[in-house]
Amino acid sequence: MHNYTKLRTEELKVNYIQKCEEEWQQHSESVNKAGRYGSSSHVLLVLESGFKYIDNLFEELFNSEKSALLSEQSQLPGYYIDDPNYFDNFKKETSDLLLRELNELQSKVLKHFGNLRPQIDTINSKMQEYEKMKRESVNRRIELLQEELRMGIGIPQPSIGTTIYVGGDVGVINTGQIYGSIQVNIETLKESNQAELAEAFNRLTEAIKDSDVDDKTRYEQMENVDFLITQFKVPQEKRKHGVIKAIERFLSNAANLTTIWEQVGPFIMKTLGIG
């Protein structure tokens, strides 16, 4: 993990946990008035606040890491890609961080409801469900970041498009660059007589571009589509099937892509060899 990311994450933890605890206090005051303190709905409210805290923390972690690595990649091409240990270490560091944050969250929630035995099973079950989902998401983000560096996507260069500010003042990422990358790959598909597949990706990409979603969501969705289309350059036996399936779940569950994914998603997955 880049040193900047470590410093940024420690700084954000203090702010985010404070906001989380403020939400917990608000929940407690609200359910006390309604006479529902310690109810299942109260437990779920507390857990949702905790999960949101971890989601926000990891979102900023990846924004910071991406910004720092892309900035250095523009000056030291291939530096991080050529280091076989960097992303292995990054994966371990993010895994360790997630485990620490989950254990701390679980400890606080159990302490909060520790005298309510019927709720403990619910807490443990929800924690395990969230951990599984979050680990899968984190690993997918690492794979995507590594692929972006390998392809040079996001390295600052003149381009026409919308700029997205990420991680506060740490830098900008240009949507025109990733959109352009997808368009280049679509043209490659057309040239290799895969017009139907090219049209499927084009429709999906345009749907994302025209969606009424925030800039970060739009960028992340395009980022995932870009990864899918690059997998067609890889022999089927070497494709990252786990990452592809995770992306399928991500895109198919996106509210703004439900209709278009139902139309083109199954065809894209089938062509990728994902049944």
Q: What is the pLDDT of residues 236-267, one digit of tens each?
A: 888 888 888 888 988 998 999 999 999 999 99
Residue closest to 227 by CA, chosen among 174, 182, 172: 182
| CB proximity list for 245: less than 8 A, separation 6 or greater | 274
Position 163 pLDDT exceeds 80: no
Is the pLDDT at 232 greater than 90? The verdict is no
Query: Between residues 267 and 213, which one has the greater pLDDT?
Result: 267
End-to-end CA distance of the chain: 35
Query: SS3 for 233?
Result: helix
Band (pLDDT 50/70/90 cuts) for residue 165 is very low
Residues 102, 108, 111, 113, Cα dihedral to 10°:
-80
The whole-number pLDDT of residue 144 equals: 82
DSSP E strands, the chain: 163-166, 171-174
- What percentage of the chain reaches a pLDDT higher than 70? 81
Give the contacts of 61 (CB within 8 A, at least 6 positions apart): 5, 8, 9, 94, 97
For the stretch 40-92, pLDDT in tens is 778 888 888 888 888 888 988 988 888 778 776 655 455 555 566 888 899 99
pTM of the prediction? 0.54
pLDDT band for position 28 (50/70/90)? confident
Q: What is the pLDDT of residue 201?
A: 95
- pLDDT tens digits, 105-149: 888 887 777 666 667 888 888 889 999 989 998 988 888 887 777
pLDDT at 219 over 80: yes
How far apart CA 117 and CA 130 sit, in angstroms, is 21
CA–CA gap between residue 96 and residue 101 (Å, rounded):
9
